[in-house]
Structure 1
Amino acid sequence: MRSTPASGRGYGTRYAVPTINIAPYADLLPANGVYVTTLRIGEGPDARLFRGVTNAGNRPTFGADSFAVESYLFGFEPIALTEETPLELTFLHRLREERRFDSPDLLKQQIGRDVAKANRFFALCDVLSL
């Protein structure tokens, strides 16, 4: 999926799980849920590739539906992004369906479990690509 950054509501940063929001293209997205992904930021020799976990869906824990595609990137370092910065998101594996949590803290705990599963996925990929 090729896209550009989008503005979010700031929940990820507020709850210590900062994310990059991606402008959605409904015809290119998989079913709502949480996925192991990679995100390439930029183009050419200066492009950066990050592994991560991405939620595509309505973020039901935070109330009224508001569709977003947002990625938590492993080892992310602040990068200057503009609305024109090219992003390429690759969905590698579906971890789970999207669901509502009773509190942001419970969601944060689940994100930690999702990250652990994604790290195992990437470790296995690294071993298999030897």
Structure 2
Amino acid sequence: MAIDNERIYENQKQMLKVEHQQDELAKEKRIIKNQLFQLEKVLQIGFRQLSETNHEDIQQGMTNAIWMQKEYEAKQQTFQQQFHQAHEELDFSYRKTLQGLEVEREELFAERRTFEWG
């Protein structure tokens, strides 16, 4: 049986599409990770500034400054936990989507092997 050029062409086109999706997925993951890191960094700077200001208030004898410091620390810890969770969820979603694309790619390779060559 002769090679079905149309089937081969469509298969190749689908494989390229999947590979492009994999590349885009990796690129988008890097971008999101970088944005999360930048946001985390900005929040850390903000909390550090609050802590420094609050430390000055404590030295000046402001009574509620210690309570405020504990509140800042609790909020900072909450944000850190949320960032950690966001990174884990991003990694999980990335792996799950990548696995789906890999399965699709393997199916296309298997289909290609079924074509008769001559």
| Superposed pair shares fold, TM > 0.5 | no
* Relative contact order, higher structure (CA 8 A, sep 6+): 2
Larger radius of gyration: 2
Instruction: Give the structure with the higher percent strand.
Output: 1
Question: So what's the TM-score if we normalise by structure 2?
Answer: 0.32
